[in-house]
Chains A and B, each alone.
Chain A
């Protein structure tokens, strides 16, 4: 009985008593008792932002919009936003970022950090209830070069975390005790896992990192109670399977074709479809050994949540030579599309294009550049890019791409899609790599010209892809975006600023220097004791902001 673990830890009991006492003082006894019993159910996760005190899944809801209905912080008062507390992780990822999106439930933050640290933190004080640190092996492969994590998944009293040695863990959310630990894949081959698990009904869905190595990507579903695997979707088809015709007729090549699935997906409960981005084929830059489109690399796949069966796919970058993984948060919305109601999925892609697809059928509705990319400027009638420059001729977006996995945001009332754009310039020189398990096989080198590069927060009109406004940053940026229904955009940049903008005009309204580049993280917001908090991770700190009382 995993629920019993909660009563073993006296320290945690004390904290919870304090919490309950605090809530009683505020006249919230009933609610606190009700919430004491267990964490969120699937139905509560599916209800998204219905309870303003909670943030229960990576993007706040299944749609990936990262658009909160909270309105206490406004265009007028955001200039008064101030830090309430700062949490120090004590663990660094020099060269990368603190990429987590905290989950929030009943006044407690559940936070994962670099190097597979994790914490439960008091949302009022920033003080921690417990800390977990995984004892990682010394011979990590991909996990050593990207020792990051993007967050927990949560269901009931369980938390789920993916690890750098490619395991999936389940914890008791109250004690931080480990409930089970299963291997996703052999990290020695190059596998790792960094994403926040997605909870769908009675399943825990995860993807895998390691496309820089001779690996084969997949999306897995697990039983949350036992850790038993329920289905697997291989992103690179097996011999004879649909999609294998886009590869050489060689089982060895298919078995190591890459196609990582290292960024979170989104979910449509009505259609019961999971939307997930797939990464680069391997070798990254050398394509001569893998002629063909190399499905389902650099694609968006729509999978049946119960079975993992592929419903449809769309490939953004056929036969990728530039490491432009399509590992982005797919953003789901129901929109007025030129006078017609459509259910769409939107992707700002690493290849420099912004896409809108019908999420029922996979039909392409729009694909247009949002950067100055010289790789391609338009798609043909079949939705394939008309490639002008594959990178060997110079100056296409660098391998980090025109944007990356940092979350974008969609503001339904404005019809605007906000994303962090990176304007960069690189030359790709492919070379045939040796394929050795556990060793990276990029397949070439890149020359990056750092001088003219910059970053920008851009607002795109989703019906046309037109640039509504932009705010430029001095250097290419990895900070993510969140919007709130009060007309605000929150974004972070590579120089460490956490900022608020007018969503309609792009006017900067507030900024706070966090002291470290904001990399991969996007803001999270929730209500607590009648006040709206905004959280951002940067460097080794998590900071909570609110308006003065």
Chain B
């Protein structure tokens, strides 16, 4: 009976009704988001397991296909590698000596301070946003695992993003290349403060944009860019990338640079989350 009645309504009025529903939901979720949180919670409970499942299947088939393709290649490679091994063994001794020297030098540069000992937890990526405009992804750790909003996310050897929304058992991560991302950073070794901006237009060439570097600071290609000590959201000293291009701004005071990110955004499957909050000054 219900269905029959529905068919009698003109599509125009139905459109009007649903538009009003949309606007009401929009206003409600904007001004009183917590009251509608249950909608998200239950939808996510149904959807996320499927996303995780499909993701697993995808990863599994991907690895199997790779395996089949690679068997022949590997056999050939194996032969070549055995020859190389002999040669490498001889070289290894030389390098071991050099390594000792490097360690000494690294201590001088205080590079080992770049990753201070922070508590971290690992997580899997199971989904990304459905549109091409935003560079955000979802991980399978949430509030229950000690993750919180504003936690820093690392991938590979560098900073990858920040958690912008945290639910009970999953959370959303905004990457540094997202168009709305801004990170306070500094260049090493000159310690000039700067801002790392994500930008769709620049990232298509594989770069992030760094603005506001003091012109007096000697910044050159190859310098490291790490998170600054004054940021209130990021732990200090996390590697962001290496400077690859420097250009003077028209105001003659600052320099803008392009950096190559340290983290490979084309293949993010596992990430590390820093589960320690940065100590900040409490505001009254």
A and B interact: no
Measured CB to CB, the residues of A under 8 A from B are: none
